[in-house]
Structure 1
């Protein structure tokens, strides 16, 4: 059940992160975080986290990658179900968000909303995300959020003992970049 949520979070994080890190020879450095939150009935809330985010760019776009096998909900069995049954990380190891530099006003810093292409569970679809990028040393401090509907990416809605989470998962990501 948590796997789908975690995937959604990762996807969201990726989309948000891409917008702020669109710089030549871009790479993620230092501390990074990805967090997803899925909700269900009776106040059910599942949160998953990871500290692994990769960022890179080409002349025209920025790509943020989150390895899905690193997502952790704090419960081993739930992690196994999320990774094996829902996210299928052996087949689809990463969530990747690619954003055109022109969509985020590169190289300007600031905050906004943009659309990027999210590849998740073997499918690529456009997603809207919010982002903020601030100059930090020789790079940028980047944060972003996105809401991802896991069923739109072919991920089964997680369910356990008759309780299912909602298909929409909120994802937040933060990371720093080094502009080389």
Structure 2
């Protein structure tokens, strides 16, 4: 499936091989509610895009929007994916945020073909950094790494309910 690999919350791949991504990538599907495909300059800009998207989607619902903790999780996943693309992925080359029936679907593209890694931790130390990928895998309902020529796309689905 073109180098696509689903990563489960525990960091393993599914037993029965690669499954479909949480949803098609931006280039594979047109339309979609609350779609934003501009490439932000940094993590703060990406969080602003997601905040506006969530406000537009849930504005006027009389308090029926996602809970604050869900919004915080969505913003944290956004920030970590974009920061990792900038710091470790050779730069952010694409970004899409949209609302689907299943939640907030984020697609972050970078210029590195290398898959994200989880560093081994010595339980007796308190290292600074290195927790972003762990947080993304823990907070996202589904995470897929799709390897492409010249880089990769990471697709993360964050439940909003």
TM-score when normalising by structure 2: 0.30
Greater relative contact order structure (CA < 8 Å, 6+ sep): 1
TM-score when normalising by structure 1: 0.28
Question: Which structure shows the higher strand fraction?
Answer: 1
